[in-house]
Structure 1
């Protein structure tokens, strides 16, 4: 599959603490082929690889892996050091103990902890580390991004996706909360909780970790991209449908014909998708949207070529759909040369 797209919210959050340096912001955007025009939209999308590159470049410019969101800057190399420590573990439980202990030693305003309960649940939580005083008012991005990276790193350590039972956040509902499904693949999201945390089966902690030096080096070569574009959901129906649909976009098959490709009845396929929280049209729109952004921004395709590749009979219909998906016309996504 082509690289997924991510919400413009993450581009805005990445650059937020550089708002006093507009020239630097513009340079970073241009370097990563992101139009500054779409920053004003709330529903625009950007290739995930562009975001990963922008995040890497912003960290380097600020010399801070937390890009200004922590109580103190976090020196470049902290995450790589932690990954190397965690990867040299026998089980996921041992790896996560090292991870959470490492980030209790790094001063950044939060402490990471791994705990279990008597009901077979494991928790990775973020707690304020200010010694019991009034907790600092960190922005949601710090919690949501750090838990995301922990989850994706844990997936990589065992080579499979860890199903999350719930995700708790200590802040109120956010305007961008719909993006959390793409981040965590979890429908059970809670806000205004005592701590921000991930809950999953404690049985996962016993799974083995076996990473070669080559695998570790490959992962760390561009760790942001490795985690943001990570896919371990091959067994899910929404992944199977997305993958097959991507190869058939130009033909634009009916749902009945599409279901026949899986040798199942259309009603059965709809039921499978519904159980995972998806509808076919939503998946189709997402696949078309992500491929449209890919063709326009990464391959330099024209609007007409992109419309054809996505199965639209007319470019005008594609333009209307694209504006509905992203809040902008396709021309704003054309790659700068």
Structure 2
């Protein structure tokens, strides 16, 4: 599985319901410095967030972070996976999945309906506290969508994600987690995808399920990673450009892949990604790595990532993280010493 980074927002939300002592315990077990909780712009490797998820589960005996009035006891998700494994088709698996969640949770439930060309998973959330309600929506959709993608053996692109809460400061994360098309302050939280995909067969078996559960929750929140997908192929190709001043154009990569540029764009779009999005994700994580673990100047980092002007890098990094690169480096320095200059290469967001 390719590596990925997770926003510190989700780390803070995951431990919000714990006592101070329990919070320190689970953060330590996941290898996440507690000081990072104050750095909302920071990111952690997917492995660390996965370890944190499991540690919170064990601490609470609840696989839903203590958000619902009823505990989703440890082992519930595995039981749910076994229940949907032999559903035959994605639509039957999804309906069975949502009924299973309804049996485990009281405050958060969802239904599947078909609205013209769209299949819609609409969520009902009765949690009172606004931040907990939002994190419950985020977590529920990640679990449902991740399991859907795995069952079908392919990524299910979401054509739109709607949220029954105001646009949060970390909304940019949603374009990676859910869809490029977002709507906030909606009547209900919901995701939409092509209704024709409901007819997809469930391609997994009991042997594959053991692997899926052994790597959960990371295998869930990273969705299904098809190493032969166009997204994965493009990511591998662009990763080799990190550290070089020249990055290939989409037209150049399409020629290497022996397809027309329009075909490559269309196939990436079908997988819910884009050339520019993948390029930005790789450059963002590389920028974070250099700012935290090297002595390169901001101008040198910008040049190494293919920015012709340092000011363009400043604007891009502000869009990615909410702060200017110099401010990001200063805050990280205040949290402790950075990594050595020969630190390993940065993790890259895994989508594909």
- 8 Å CA contact 1:47–1:290 kept in 2: the answer is no
Counterpart for residue 152 of structure 2: 158
Measured against aligned partners, the alpha-carbon deviations of 1:218-276 in whole angstroms (never above 9, x if no partner) come to 111132111223354768876544321212324x0413578535437xxx69x949977
- 8 Å CA contact 1:164–1:199 kept in 2: the answer is yes
- Equivalents in 2 of 1:255, 1:218: separation in Å? 36
1:207 pairs with 2:200: yes
1:122 pairs with 2:115: no
Superposition pairs for residues 290-301 of structure 1, below 5 Å?
290=285
Change over 3 Å in CA distance of 1:296–1:43 after alignment to 2: closer
Change over 3 Å in CA distance of 1:332–1:279 after alignment to 2: farther
C-alpha displacement at 1:195, in angstroms? 1.6
Structure 1: where are the runs of 5+ without partners?
130-134
- 8 Å CA contact 1:114–1:124 kept in 2: the answer is yes
C-alpha displacement at 1:114, in angstroms? 1.3
Higher mean displacement: 187-196 or 288-297: 288-297
- Equivalents in 2 of 1:23, 1:249: separation in Å? 40
Change over 3 Å in CA distance of 1:238–1:221 after alignment to 2: closer
1:103 pairs with 2:101: yes
2:135 to 137, 141, 150: 141
- Equivalents in 2 of 1:258, 1:120: separation in Å? 30
C-alpha displacement at 1:107, in angstroms? 3.7
Superposition pairs for residues 8-19 of structure 1, below 5 Å?
8-18=8-18
Counterpart for residue 91 of structure 2: 93
- Equivalents in 2 of 1:241, 1:123: separation in Å? 30
- Equivalents in 2 of 1:234, 1:209: separation in Å? 19
- Equivalents in 1 of 2:163, 2:209: separation in Å? 30
C-alpha displacement at 1:60, in angstroms? 0.7
- 8 Å CA contact 1:110–1:128 kept in 2: the answer is yes
The total of aligned residue pairs comes to 312
Counterpart for residue 286 of structure 1: 281
- Equivalents in 2 of 1:284, 1:326: separation in Å? 23
Measured against aligned partners, the alpha-carbon deviations of 1:182-203 in whole angstroms (never above 9, x if no partner) come to 111x122112222211111211
- Equivalents in 2 of 1:9, 1:93: separation in Å? 32
1:178 pairs with 2:175: no
What TM-score comes out, normalization by structure 1 length? 0.78
Q: Secondary structure at the match of 2:88?
A: coil
Counterpart for residue 162 of structure 2: 168
- Equivalents in 2 of 1:2, 1:247: separation in Å? 14
Say what the alpha-carbon RMSD is for the aligned residues: 3.8
What TM-score comes out, normalization by structure 2 length? 0.75
- Equivalents in 2 of 1:122, 1:142: separation in Å? 21
- Equivalents in 1 of 2:180, 2:84: separation in Å? 28
Counterpart for residue 3 of structure 2: 3
- 8 Å CA contact 1:2–1:294 kept in 2: the answer is no
- Equivalents in 1 of 2:303, 2:289: separation in Å? 15
Q: Secondary structure at the match of 2:192?
A: strand
Measured against aligned partners, the alpha-carbon deviations of 1:71-104 in whole angstroms (never above 9, x if no partner) come to 2222111111111111111100110111111122
- 8 Å CA contact 2:175–2:181 kept in 1: the answer is no
Counterpart for residue 77 of structure 2: 79
C-alpha displacement at 1:312, in angstroms? 4.7
Change over 3 Å in CA distance of 1:29–1:123 after alignment to 2: same
- 8 Å CA contact 1:233–1:239 kept in 2: the answer is yes
- Equivalents in 2 of 1:192, 1:3: separation in Å? 32
Change over 3 Å in CA distance of 1:63–1:294 after alignment to 2: farther
Counterpart for residue 327 of structure 1: 328
- Equivalents in 2 of 1:210, 1:231: separation in Å? 12
